[in-house]
């Protein structure tokens, strides 16, 4: 069921579980973030593998949820999370944080035997929704590793839950599967055909998959014993929740946008379009088949932009905004960052770990930051072009802290209408809006900004981009990212 239409005064508690940080937000019914608490998403070493500290995180979530409830009239709880996290749980959500085996950190390197054993079981591109990505990414691969390592623990487990649904289960005691989360490169769900991938039956995992619920569905109230123990708001209703990027996409849907491409930036650059034909998706260029919160296909593309930015800009880039003349100076000198510095190929197959700086190297911290912004704007433009035509491009996320990023993307895309959203809480807003899905009387307010005049950037950027693209696609990355880091860090 959906939250009642007359519940306009309700405040929604949104748990946003990212790879690096976890945020707990109080959000108004129309998506305005009122307060945010955050904590690092800590990872513990093995054995049996690097894993997230769900016990400590649970204490933080529940105690802060109680404190937030003392300051805001919380009536609804909903979680969103990154798509590479799943939790194998037992029957009791209070026993050892509910886990049957520790939650694998998706950046944990895979044992070679697991990598080789999993590959032939993973199915077609549509069964997977993505290429085989780095380390322990993909929930099916994590579950396979668990089953190979501890078959008895898997046999005795009750559910395998996506991150948002794990937190919904911890609070409500009700287990659910959800389309947008399983459709986020889990390798468990075929979005195009709306069925489980063959590996689920082949490995006997059907019994671990609970029934589906909509992201906005009320699973139940918070468990009375949990509410009493932590002093949680009485009658707090718990929604199913969904994939963070799909929830962010939903926010624009709720605002009445139709034909648009949204690009969210952070640890990952993630692009989504509901109009991308399935035949256009190319797993060798970082493209994915995702699901929106309604279960419909979303053409996707992703690359680890935040990590690429840090490799080029350094771990502590200057806070100052980059002047246009610094960018134009680097463009004139043909200083280029060529992919890819991290462990992920992104849009350039075979490029992982081969990133390098071509041309005169940046000499100052602000030049390094400028080069990182140019590089990430170019990666963004590649993501947009991969998704195909679309008159409106909406940018959001952390890269927009420097206005130059949006201006560079606009200069790279002269035939599209580029707009940006400075609200850094898109996931929290979208998740809160789930509470009124099907009950709203009209579009929710949304303010998009224009990057402004970029005519002074466009000619130089166009020539530079053409040269960069040719070199990036040709794989002219003969150096090593380690050489750059050793010299400039």
- Asked if 432 and 409 count as a contact pair (C-beta separation under 8 A), the reply is no
Helix 481-488 to helix 305-313 angle (10° resolution) is 40
Residues, the chain, total?
489
- Which tokens belong to 219? 């699973």
Q: Say what the pTM is.
A: 0.91
CB count within 10 Å of CB 364 equals: 10
| Per-residue model confidence as pLDDT tens digits over 21-72 | 999 999 999 999 999 999 999 999 989 999 999 999 999 999 999 999 999 9
- Asked if 216 and 437 count as a contact pair (C-beta separation under 8 A), the reply is yes
Q: Tell me: pLDDT of 430 over 70.
A: yes
- Which tokens belong to 43? 């990872």
Closest CA to 77 of 64, 96, 94: 64
- Asked if 292 and 274 count as a contact pair (C-beta separation under 8 A), the reply is yes
Q: Tell me: pLDDT of 484 over 60.
A: no
- In 165-282, where do the E strands start and end? 189-190, 195-196, 218-221, 237-239, 242-243, 260-265, 269-273
In which residue are the tokens 């940046």 written? 362
pLDDT (0 to 100) of residue 483: 38
Q: Tell me: pLDDT of 423 over 90.
A: no
- Asked if 303 and 346 count as a contact pair (C-beta separation under 8 A), the reply is yes
Q: Strands 86-89 and 159-162: what pairing?
A: antiparallel
- Which tokens belong to 236? 């707090």
pLDDT (0 to 100) of residue 489: 34
Q: Tell me: pLDDT of 204 over 80.
A: yes
Mean pLDDT of 298-327: 94
Q: Tell me: pLDDT of 9 over 80.
A: no
CB count within 10 Å of CB 350 equals: 11
pLDDT (0 to 100) of residue 8: 54
Q: Strands 74-81 and 237-239: what pairing?
A: parallel
Q: With bands split at pLDDT 50, 70 and 90, how would you rate the model's confidence at 2?
A: very low
More confident residue, 136 or 1: 136
Closest CA to 484 of 320, 399, 372: 372
Question: In whole numbers, what is the pLDDT of the chain averaged over residues?
Answer: 93
What radius of gyration do the chain's Cα atoms show? 22
| Per-residue model confidence as pLDDT tens digits over 144-185 | 999 999 999 999 999 999 999 999 999 999 999 999 999 999
Residues forming a β-bridge with 289: 299
| CA–CA gap between residue 44 and residue 42 (Å, rounded) | 7
- Asked if 85 and 57 count as a contact pair (C-beta separation under 8 A), the reply is no
Closest CA to 188 of 217, 162, 163: 162
- Asked if 287 and 269 count as a contact pair (C-beta separation under 8 A), the reply is no
Q: Which residues of 315-341 are buried (b: 16+ CB within 10 A; e: fewer)?
A: eebeeeebebebbbebbeeebbbbbbb
Phi, psi of 18 (to 5 degrees): -95, 170
Under 8 Å CB-to-CB from 388, ≥6 apart: which residues? 273, 275, 276, 277, 280, 299
- Asked if 326 and 367 count as a contact pair (C-beta separation under 8 A), the reply is yes
Residues forming a β-bridge with 418: 393
| Per-residue model confidence as pLDDT tens digits over 17-30 | 999 899 999 999 99
């Amino acid at each position: 069921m959906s939250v009642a239409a007359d519940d306009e005064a309700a405040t929604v508690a949104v748990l946003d579980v990212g790879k690096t940080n976890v945020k707990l937000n109080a959000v108004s019914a129309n998506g305005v973030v009122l307060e945010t608490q955050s904590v690092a998403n800590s990872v513990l070493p093995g054995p049996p593998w690097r894993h997230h500290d769900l016990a400590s995180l649970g204490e933080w979530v529940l105690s802060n949820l109680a404190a937030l409830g003392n300051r805001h009239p919380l009536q609804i709880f909903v979680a969103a999370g990154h798509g590479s996290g799943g939790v194998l749980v037992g029957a009791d959500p209070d026993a050892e944080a509910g886990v049957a085996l520790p939650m694998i950190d998706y950046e944990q390197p895979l044992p070679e035997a697991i990598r080789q054993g999993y590959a032939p079981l993973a199915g077609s591109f549509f069964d997977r929704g993505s290429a085989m990505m780095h380390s322990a990414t993909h929930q099916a691969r994590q579950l396979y590793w668990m089953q190979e390592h501890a078959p008895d623990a898997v046999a005795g487990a009750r559910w395998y839950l996506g991150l948002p649904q794990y937190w919904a289960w911890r609070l409500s005691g009700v287990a659910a599967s959800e389309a947008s989360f399983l459709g986020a490169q889990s390798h468990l769900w075929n979005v195009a055909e709306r069925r489980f991938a063959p590996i689920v039956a082949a490995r006997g995992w059907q019994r671990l998959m609970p029934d589906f619920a909509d992201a906005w569905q009320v699973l139940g109230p918070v468990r009375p014993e949990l509410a009493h123990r932590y002093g949680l708001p009485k009658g707090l209703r718990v929604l199913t929740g969904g994939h963070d990027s799909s929830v962010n996409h939903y926010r624009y849907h709720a605002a009445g946008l139709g034909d648009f491409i949204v690009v969210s930036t952070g640890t990952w650059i993630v692009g989504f379009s509901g109009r991308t034909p399935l035949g256009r998706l190319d797993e060798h260029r970082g493209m994915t088949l995702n699901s929106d919160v309604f279960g419909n296909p979303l053409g996707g593309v992703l690359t680890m932009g935040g990590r690429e930015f840090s490799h080029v800009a350094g771990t502590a880039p200057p806070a100052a905004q980059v002047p246009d003349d610094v960018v134009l100076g680097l463009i004139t000198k043909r200083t280029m960052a060529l992919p890819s510095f991290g462990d992920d190929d992104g849009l350039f197959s075979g490029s992982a770990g081969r990133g390098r700086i071509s041309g005169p190297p940046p000499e100052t911290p602000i030049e390094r930051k400028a080069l990182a912004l140019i590089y990430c704007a170019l990666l963004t433009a590649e993501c947009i072009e991969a998704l195909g035509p679309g008159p409106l491009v909406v940018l959001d996320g952390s890269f927009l802290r420097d206005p130059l990023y949006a201006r560079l993307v606009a200069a790279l895309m002269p035939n599209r209408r580029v707009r940006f959203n400075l609200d850094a809480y898109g996931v929290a807003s979208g998740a809160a809006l789930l509470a009124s899905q099907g009950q709203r009387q009209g579009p929710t307010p949304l303010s998009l900004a224009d990057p402004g005049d970029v005519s002074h950037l466009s000619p130089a950027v166009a020539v530079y981009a053409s040269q960069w693209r040719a070199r990036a696609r040709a794989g002219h990355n003969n150096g090593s990212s380690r050489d750059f880091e050793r010299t400039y860090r």
